[in-house]
Amino acid sequence: MDLVPTPVGKAGITWYPAHGPTRAVALLGHGMATGVEAADLQALAADLPRHGISVALVTQPYRMSRTRSGSDEASLDAVWQALWPIAADLGVPVISGGRSAGSQVACRTAEQLGAHAVLALAYPLLGPGSPEELLATGRPTLVLQGTRDPFGRPDQFPALPPEIELIEIPNANHTFDTRGSVPRSTTMDRITRATSQWIEQQLTRA
């Protein structure tokens, strides 16, 4: 893990380099309840490099220090802005994203930072996120949402513009746990396959 100074403390970046030439970078953040060890983030970190996508999993400073200080929206966004040049300086498209609170950070900062696209895993639509925050990304956006997510089921989302695609993950809750109704490996495969195909589309269009 690389330690990087930010305005609110040191953040961590764990890199999973692309296999072969790097076609893009996926800069992904964690949620409030879990860190980068979350199953969906780890599945993407294992899969996307096979498609030429380097993955950078970001651990926010508040989690590095194991405190709640620096977990407010302004601090989270400031960290993302501080880390962004590290990914952007690689000279390839940057997909900004994350799970839950991490997806909110990506949505709020995408237009300002010039993200190529936004990946939102388990977006907390019913709070602390909002439809307005999601709709304001200004970039092509993929939302992967469990059909049992208490923070917003797919059928609770508003009508979405063409640039925002919503994919349902059957029987999954906010952490994409299906309580055994669907094998964990099947759920993770759905997530990685949908994400890699969508990123491929964004890179092709570019």
What pLDDT is attached to residue 206?
Answer: 63
Q: Are 187 and 169 in contact (CB under 8 A)?
A: yes
Euclidean distance between CA atoms 2 and 15, whole angstroms: 8
110 in Cβ contact with 145 (< 8 Å): no
Domains within the chain, CATH numbers bracketed:
2-205 (3.40.50.1820)
- Which pLDDT tens digit goes with each residue over 32-55? 989 999 999 999 999 999 999 999
Name the band, by pLDDT with cuts 50, 70 and 90, for residue 66.
confident
pLDDT digits (tens, 9 = 90+) for 2-35: 999 999 999 999 999 999 999 999 999 999 989 9
Instruction: Round to the nearest angstrom and report the end-to-end CA distance of the chain.
Output: 31
pLDDT in tens, 76-124: 999 999 999 999 999 999 999 999 999 999 999 999 999 999 999 999 9
Q: Which two tokens stand for residue 71?
A: 């977990």
